[in-house]
Chain A
Amino acid sequence: DAGVIQSPRHEVTEMGQEVTLRCKPISGHNSLFWYRQTMMRGLELLIYFNNNVPIDDSGMPEDRFSAKMPNASFSTLKIQPSEPRDSAVYFCASSFGGGYTFGSGTRLTVV
């Protein structure tokens, strides 16, 4: 199993641009999570899907952030427009019944 696959690994973009982060969960996992990690705030849950349905998006910071899961094997997190304070590492994780497996993350820098 290839694990949770995220792309891109690194993204540098200018303020105001749209950014799309992608995640392919482990096959058979029915829950998918997007987390953001910064030095100041640690790992924060942004949104959680179960069976492709968003269950809890209370962690999404504002309307500039949106996430979709059109099928069991793909999810996107979009930031539009991006701002420098969005700079962080964004992790996707998937699970089935409890244990999480994280992807390698996308390191986003907004300049």
Chain B
Amino acid sequence: RKEVEQDPGPFNVPEGATVAFNCTYSNSASQSFFWYRQDCRKEPKLLMSVYSSGNEDGRFTAQLNRASQYISLLIRDSKLSDSATYLCVVRYSGAGSYQLTFGKGTKLSVIP
């Protein structure tokens, strides 16, 4: 079974803190990687793709380690509006290449 594993949290951090989430995936044939954000009682939305060389989008930095099969997301200077569940997502190569497999998510609460 293809699996994506995440620490469910919750992570409770004060405003302004830096927080990091990790995710591991089991299938070495994995092709593409993403972080999605899901607000309470809402649908998941793409936060950012994760590239092999690492990539940054404002306060968010994503890293990929193919050798260890893990992905990370770093959030700097946390805002109250960052409170959400962060889903690690993997797309596998092969016949089902457009299928995304989601981790169960890590819940983040940013506290005033």
List chain A positions with a Cβ less than 8 A from chain B.
31, 33, 35, 41-43, 45, 48, 50, 55-56, 91, 95, 98-100, 102-105
For A33, what are the chain B residues with a Cβ–Cβ distance below 8 Å? 99-100
* Partner pick for A104 among B42, B99, B104, CB 8 A cutoff: B42
Quick one: closest B residue to A92, CB to CB? B43
List chain B positions with a Cβ less than 8 A from chain A.
32, 42-46, 87, 91, 95-96, 98-105
Chain A contact residues, majority secondary structure:
strand
* Partner pick for A43 among B42, B44, B46, CB 8 A cutoff: B44
For A31, what are the chain B residues with a Cβ–Cβ distance below 8 Å? 98
For B96, what are the chain A residues with a Cβ–Cβ distance below 8 Å? 48, 55-56
* Partner pick for A50 among B42, B44, B98, B102, CB 8 A cutoff: B98
Given contacts A55-B96, A56-B96, A98-B32, contact A45 B101 (CB under 8 A): yes
What is the minimal beta-carbon distance from B55 to any residue of chain A, in angstroms? 15
* 16 sampled A-B residue pairs with Cβ under 8 A: A41-B104, A42-B102, A42-B103, A42-B104, A43-B44, A43-B87, A43-B102, A45-B99, A45-B100, A48-B98, A50-B98, A55-B96, A56-B99, A98-B98, A102-B43, A104-B43
